[in-house]
Structure 1
């Protein structure tokens, strides 16, 4: 264990002391006679040594010293690093972890970090720190962020990687001004954390912000690059990359900075659900930065930790897992889950296992029984290989260098774009095969994307293998025997509000109704999927800015028109690109069609605004009867009805094509807009949030940061010392 200074070593010892339950003191220190620098220091329990006081003292003071030997002795090596020379753990008195904050040495840790730490106060007035402080007061992080400015904490990069990273970020921004990145420096200009997201990721988040997975697997598993990623899933159930980070450590400060940077990049709209590993620092950061977001733990993260946290795992693995799965997946009510859990830990003598206790205390973060009303869109699975989180697994291995990763990053984005474009093309030009006379299957044929429809189709076909019985005559709960997996499920159906819930929790975890719910609807005489169980994120209109609503027939009509327009738009693109003249004709027609569509939509949504205009003479150039109209007929094509967001999406597609073309020429990299401590010329304008504080912050960075970036960052990147990965993170 090493430290940058003896003060860092003392801060570490204080943290340890507070967690154990004793006060600390600096016992002694020694300087070099030649250099006058500290070379030796010793810290101890406040009860170290014995009372030394004259017997004839008039007013003797009480002394805490009772001969305790607990201490830590550190020494300085010739290279300047400090190491633990000796450590005495045992105390001769009672330890008080619950009252540790009363010891004088720990009292300052309970004050507001901003007010108590002069270094933080100086940073608060630094424009490069505005990004973090513009949103929240630090007081919520009491007890977590005491050492977030530890001088020993830095982003550990191999030799030359800092320059490669800098060139990558700046090149990406040059190629696409919507590329966003943020850089976090310490007061000593040491690089700590980096975040970036490409333009496609920002655009994807607008449509698929309901569920986001924050994955720290590569960092926690000690990969060569300390990578963390924000992952989502699109309407084709394909993973989408919503942001990347390189981080120095797992402190709350790091995760708060990272999530704040991500929110600025994607426009400060918070996700409905955030999936993460079970980690206290992440938990505190999400509670502070995303208070309205439902925080949940990935199931595969929880299950993956079982062997590491339970002794004698191999002796009773099969029996234990059978009982555990019954508790997790077969508990209908919260009371039933609690009862089965207590029975489980008693049977396997696990009451004293701290990890099992923490799992139970946090059961509402991960247990399926407590997830009613939550939708994970397939992101929370039993195995990592089934999850969208495995997006990077074929591009990143334990020994992948930063240079190799940045080169593969562009290839990965190209693969993602190609797969999504192919799926979109298939959805516009082909229709899946219908395999049954079920009205449910026919209803969703042109509503769901192909991938989701095929999975839903299996549920429709599987309903034939289910047998239904009613639990009670007056109740609304049904028992469904599934002969395919030989299991019995409970389904609760409330016809008055079209609310249906199955104990298999398919809708919560996958986002579409299961066969058990379908057979209950059939037997209840309901032959239409309730609209609240048709998630827009799984439909061909997932990227439409207008929310689908009303009955299913209206949704089917809207999506049918959308698909038809997309097919015709591709033909128009092919014909219009043959010559400059045909291009001009097509562009003029599209612009006119967009204008007419916007007028028509506004007339429908705001009829009062057009009452006066309705009695005025009409422009003779506009034909009556079909406002989409005459222009469309001139070219034999209709514009995309999706036009309200068409200009923005068209721009995004142009950005994407530009990025891909440049990437293939330049080591396959893609781009967007950049920042130091935040702020790019366009990134902050794009991400300016609706609150006054954020708006001010965006303006400040727009005016000041590009110059700062040019003057500061290259120097700091050049000065970063190369070292082995994960070797220099501070203890604790």
Structure 2
């Protein structure tokens, strides 16, 4: 006898697991009022046969390859009926004969009716997927946790199906609309959260920009140089993904904002740059590094006319390989990137290079790069502040943290999740570097100079490594001449291996105290760190500390002292039920590990965890791949909850349609 139809199904399904077949629900009878089921038949999953119309259809008429045949007319069944007087269910009919081979016990757990993802597994899977763990890795982790595939209760296909259904539920109101809903809610929670979007005439999203309050504070501290590209179209709509990044006080990636546009036109980029300026209080960057997009160049000239602009050397190197096939021409072209000769000499070399290689067509790549030479050749950019980002592949690695694990099938909301995850990782990395800088001082030799020891205290460890290189080169410097004036003294310095090149270091003193120092090599202005020439003169002057002008605040631990940092991502909030689950899970891990060391403790804890009153008030229902309900009949949301605004149903909020796919 059974108390319910579900209890009868569970009983027969367990029997099927032991015997080696899968079970499914079949025929059902209702009472006269159609309110209650009075009879239910459970059958072997191989019961029945495939319909004849599907068997006779020709291959050329099929849209997909037909599935393997599983129905073989098996007669095994269990029929249960409900007694009207007591409400109990009894076995009315039972056939235990199968006309097909049964699966062994170690394989029967893989049959359909015996696979089920429990609610707690769904919560863990949702968390792992949000963390960027791939589905096959999630399955590997679960196999390790449960002790084998036969104990997990599901297969990889079930995980894929659940993740897909969970995503569809998340964006059920529409992909673009879900993102807008989320951002409106974030703005309600954080008044400094900034976002703006554009739609076309039909209401389709064609532009989106956003940044949180911490990113805006980061820009205030480190927004002197920014890097942004638009070469990544990693979403299902083929829209350019444009992150704005820079360097923090540890010379690590800091993310300022992110944007998405539908078309790479000057108007679209102008909208994005103007929106960026609005978000950042109209503070324009000193310098900008981009790829070679012409529309982006025009937009920068219009919106940020006073900002220094240069092209990314890494992208130029990639294009050299793509467009030039002669090794000699490649090397000669690369020499223009780092050539430090005068502009006049540089122009002469260019014209000779173009004539020698017979570059006459204005459409050729070489001629186009010649027209843009002021954006990437060293002589034209000398003295501009780029914090050393223009000399190597560092600017590409800044963006690489955002492009890892991006996929072409991503929805906008998945891209937003990916962005927030990268943002949280960058801020965690900064927190770890802050701890190291606050709790330690870089090692210096006992016989190190007082300037070196002072530099180790004032600069962050990552920046001190760069400063140390300048200090080590001091021994190569030599004074050529000293020019005295009232309060300004100019020292003419040369490197011993290049005595023909003269560098002027100017010092300003007042009442015998050093007020400022500058160098004609302009490394301090360009990279933000003092050069070897300055260290050499400071050593001669027997200065015990670096002047304030040689220690930019952005390279010290005081760079963000005016801003209270937010380390934790605020994109998600967990439901009360999931918060309790996570806490209990963490507590139980420690308790279970202690109990596993003796059989007595293991058996005791097992009895406690299996006790019925422990889960009093909770649902015993198992969840299928589409979700679950709790004891009150409410839907359970697995994984973090996306903030949703309560004001979106009011006037002034038009529904935003998903973007149009860009060919």
| Shorter-chain TM band | 0.5 to 0.7
**Correspondence for 1:172:** 186
Structure 2 vs 1, CA of residues 284 and 370 (structure 1 numbering), >3 Å: closer, same or farther?
same
Determine helix, strand or coil for the equivalent of 2:382. Answer: coil
Q: 1:345 aligns with which of 344, 354, 375?
A: 354
**Correspondence for 1:480:** 495
Q: Deviations over 1:113-157 (max 9, x none)?
A: xxxxxxxxxxxxxxxxxxxxxxxxxxxxxxxxxxxxxxxxxxxx9
Q: Say if 1:407 and 1:668, in contact at 8 Å, map to a contact too.
A: no
Structure 2 vs 1, CA of residues 280 and 385 (structure 1 numbering), >3 Å: closer, same or farther?
closer
**Separation (CA, whole Å) in 2 of partners of 1:532 and 1:304:** 38
**Separation (CA, whole Å) in 1 of partners of 2:235 and 2:502:** 40
Q: 1:500 aligns with which of 519, 530, 555?
A: 519
Structure 2 vs 1, CA of residues 220 and 411 (structure 1 numbering), >3 Å: closer, same or farther?
closer
**Correspondence for 2:406:** 396
Q: 2:444 aligns with which of 434, 443, 446?
A: 434
Q: 1:456 aligns with which of 464, 467, 470?
A: 467
**Separation (CA, whole Å) in 1 of partners of 2:301 and 2:573:** 40
The answer for unaligned runs of 5 or more in structure 1 is 1-156, 545-644, 675-705, 728-732
CA displacement at 1:526 relative to structure 2? 7.4
**Separation (CA, whole Å) in 2 of partners of 1:358 and 1:527:** 51
Q: Say if 1:659 and 1:670, in contact at 8 Å, map to a contact too.
A: no
Q: Deviations over 1:308-366 (max 9, x none)?
A: 4x3xx2332xx334333433323242223223323333343335454433433333322
**Correspondence for 2:425:** 415
**Separation (CA, whole Å) in 2 of partners of 1:489 and 1:536:** 35
Determine helix, strand or coil for the equivalent of 2:458. Answer: coil
Q: Deviations over 1:614-643 (max 9, x none)?
A: xxxxxxxxxxxxxxxxxxxxxxxxxxxxxx
Q: 1:535 aligns with which of 552, 566, 570?
A: 552
Structure 2 vs 1, CA of residues 382 and 460 (structure 1 numbering), >3 Å: closer, same or farther?
same
1:246 equivalenced with 2:260 (yes/no): yes
CA displacement at 1:380 relative to structure 2? 2.8
**Separation (CA, whole Å) in 2 of partners of 1:341 and 1:670:** 56
Q: Say if 2:236 and 2:408, in contact at 8 Å, map to a contact too.
A: yes
Determine helix, strand or coil for the equivalent of 1:189. Answer: coil
Q: 2:319 aligns with which of 298, 301, 305?
A: 305
Q: 1:446 aligns with which of 450, 457, 467?
A: 457
Q: Which structure would you say has the larger RCO, counting Cα contacts within 8 Å and 6 or more residues apart?
A: 1
1:357 equivalenced with 2:374 (yes/no): no
Q: 2:325 aligns with which of 309, 314, 326?
A: 314
Q: Deviations over 1:428-486 (max 9, x none)?
A: 2211111352333122122111110122123322444x36585999997654267xxxx
1:215 equivalenced with 2:233 (yes/no): no
Structure 2 vs 1, CA of residues 411 and 499 (structure 1 numbering), >3 Å: closer, same or farther?
same
**Correspondence for 2:378:** 368
Trace 1:200-239 onto structure 2 (pairs within 5 A): 200-219=214-233, 224-239=238-253
**Correspondence for 2:101:** none
Per the normalisation by structure 2, the TM-score is 0.55
**Correspondence for 2:655:** 715
CA displacement at 1:400 relative to structure 2? 4.3
Trace 1:319-718 onto structure 2 (pairs within 5 A): 319-352=328-361, 354=363, 355-383=365-393, 387-435=397-445, 437-464=448-475, 466=476, 468=478, 470=480, 478-480=493-495, 490=501, 492-496=503-507, 498-502=517-521, 507=524, 510-515=527-532, 518-519=535-536, 529=546, 531-544=548-561, 645=562, 649-650=563-564, 653=566, 656-657=567-568, 659=570, 662=573, 710-711=650-651, 713-717=653-657
**Separation (CA, whole Å) in 2 of partners of 1:274 and 1:415:** 24
Structure 2 vs 1, CA of residues 259 and 223 (structure 1 numbering), >3 Å: closer, same or farther?
same
Measured on the aligned residues, the alpha-carbon RMSD in Å equals 4.0
Per the normalisation by structure 1, the TM-score is 0.50
Q: Say if 1:193 and 1:245, in contact at 8 Å, map to a contact too.
A: yes
Trace 1:181-200 onto structure 2 (pairs within 5 A): 181-200=195-214
Q: Say if 1:411 and 1:669, in contact at 8 Å, map to a contact too.
A: no
**Separation (CA, whole Å) in 1 of partners of 2:404 and 2:569:** 25
Determine helix, strand or coil for the equivalent of 2:573. Answer: helix
Structure 2 vs 1, CA of residues 332 and 471 (structure 1 numbering), >3 Å: closer, same or farther?
farther
Larger Cα-atom Rg: 2
